[in-house]
Structure 1
Amino acid sequence: MKVVSSILVLVGLAAAAKEVPPPGPDGKYTLTAPGITAKFIPYAACITNLIVPDRNGTLRDVILGYDNASFYAVDPNHSDYGAVPGRYVNRIKDHTYVLNGTRYFTEANDGNGTLHSGTNGWSHRVWNVSEVTDHSITFTIRDEGNSSLGFPGTVIGSVTHSVGNGSWSTILAAHAVDHLTPLMLTTHPYWNLDAFSNPDTDLVLNHTLSLPFSTRMIGIDENTQSTGALPSIPKGSINDFYSKPKQIGASSTDAAWVGNCGTAGGCAGYNNQWLVERNESQAGLPLATLSSGWSGIKWDLYSDQPGIVVYSCHWMSGGNQLKQDQGGTASNGFVRKDGCVAVEPQDYIDGINHPEWNRTKYQISGPNTPPFSSHIQYQFSTI
Structure 2
Amino acid sequence: MIKALFTALLLPLSVLAKDAPEPGPDGKYTLTAPGITAKFVAYSAAITNLIVKDRNGVDRDIILGYDNASFYPVDPNHPDYGAVPGRYVNRIANHTYELDGTRYFTEANDGNGTLHSGLNGWSRRTWNVSEVTETSITFTIRDENNSSAGMPGLVLGTVTHSVSANSWSTKLKAKAVDHRTPIMLTTHPYWNLDAFANPDTDLVLNHTLSLPFGARMIGIDPNTQSTGDLPKVAKGSINDFWSKPKQLGASINDPAWVGNCGTASGCSGYNNQWIVDREAADEDKPIASLSSDWSGIKWDLHSDQAGVVVYSCYWMGGVNELKASQGGKATNGFVQRNGCVAVEPQDWVDGINHPEWKRLDKQIYGPDTGPFESSISYKFSTIK
Alignment TM class, shorter chain as reference: over 0.9
Gaps of 5+ in 2: none
Give the match for residue 123 of structure 2.
Answer: 123
- The 5 A counterparts of 1:251-270 are 251-270=251-270
Do residues 153 (structure 1) and 153 (structure 2) align? yes
Moved more, 137-146 or 20-29: 20-29
Distance 2:225 2:3 in 1: 32
Q: Could you say which residue in structure 2 is the equivalent of 1:14?
A: 10
1:374 corresponds in structure 2 to 374
Q: Is the 8 A contact 1:210 1:241 kept in 2?
A: yes
Amino acid at match of 1:304: D
1:79 paired with 2:79, answer yes
Q: CA deviation at 1:21?
A: 3.0
Q: Which residue number corresponds to residue 280 of structure 1?
A: 280
* Deviations 1:89-140, CA, capped at 9 Å, x for gaps: 0000000000000000000000000000000000000000000000000000
2: CA distance between counterparts of 1:280 and 1:80? 33
Q: Which amino acid aligns with 1:361?
A: D
Counterparts of 2:196 and 2:153, CA distance in 1: 43
2: distance between equivalents of 1:125 and 1:29? Answer: 17
Residue in structure 2 matched with residue 163 of structure 1 by the alignment? 163
CA distance in 1 between partners of 2:179 and 2:7 (Å): 17
Q: 1:255 to 1:264 in 2, by over 3 A?
A: same
Is 1:144 aligned with 2:130? no
Amino acid at match of 1:272: N
Aligned equivalents of 2:198, 2:41: Cα separation in 1: 28
Amino acid at match of 2:75: D
Shift of 1:8: 5.6
Cα deviation for residue 10 of structure 1 reads 2.6
Are residues 1:211 and 2:211 paired?
Answer: yes
**Counterparts of 2:349 and 2:244, CA distance in 1:** 25
1:57 is matched with 57
CA distance in 1 between partners of 2:174 and 2:355 (Å): 22
Deviation at 1:266, TM superposition (A): 0.1
**Correspondences of 1:155-304 after superposition (within 5 Å):** 155-304=155-304
- Secondary structure at 1:43's aligned position in 2? coil
Three-state SS of the structure 2 residue aligned to 1:291 is strand
Q: Distance in 1 between matches of 2:243 and 2:3?
A: 38
User: Where does residue 339 of structure 1 map in the other structure?
Assistant: 339
Distance 1:121 1:21 in 2: 24
Q: Structure 2 CA distance, aligned partners of 1:179 and 1:14?
A: 16
Whether the 8 Å contact between 1:7 and 1:174 is mirrored in structure 2 is: no
> In 2, are the aligned partners of 1:6 and 1:159 still within 8 Å (CA)?
no
> What's the counterpart of residue 110 of structure 2?
110
What is the deviation of 1:6? 4.2
Question: In structure 2, how many angstroms separate the alpha carbons of the residues matched to 1:358 and 1:75?
Answer: 38
Quote the offset at 1:13 in angstroms: 3.2
| Residues in 1 aligned to 2:9 and 2:43: alpha-carbon distance in whole angstroms | 18
Residues in 1 aligned to 2:165 and 2:148: alpha-carbon distance in whole angstroms:
38
Partner of 2:44: 44
Distance in 2 (CA, whole Å) between partners of 1:284 and 1:11 is 33
- What secondary structure does 2:316 align onto? coil
Root-mean-square deviation (Å)? 1.0
Report if the CA contact (8 A) 1:287-1:302 is conserved.
yes
- Whole-angstrom CA distance in 1 between matches of 2:21 and 2:90: 33
Provide the C-alpha distance between the structure 1 equivalents of 2:171 and 2:63, rounded to a whole number of angstroms: 19
Q: Report the residue type matching 1:214 in the other structure.
A: G
Note if 1:321 corresponds to 2:321: yes
Aligned length: 379
Partner secondary structure for residue 171 of structure 1: strand
Q: How big is the shift at 1:14? A: 2.8
Are the aligned partners of 2:272 and 2:311 in contact in 1 as well (CA < 8 Å)?
Answer: yes
Would the aligned equivalents of 2:289 and 2:300 in 1 still touch at CA under 8 Å? yes
What secondary structure is seen at the aligned counterpart in 2 of 1:112? coil
1: CA distance, partners of 2:354 / 2:41: 35
Instruction: For 1:273, give the aligned amino acid.
Output: Q
- TM-score, normalised via structure 2 length: 0.97
Percentage identity across paired residues of the two chains: 73
Structure 1 counterpart of 2:6, which letter? L
Instruction: Find the aligned partners of 1:239 and 1:9 in 2 and give their Cα distance.
Output: 41
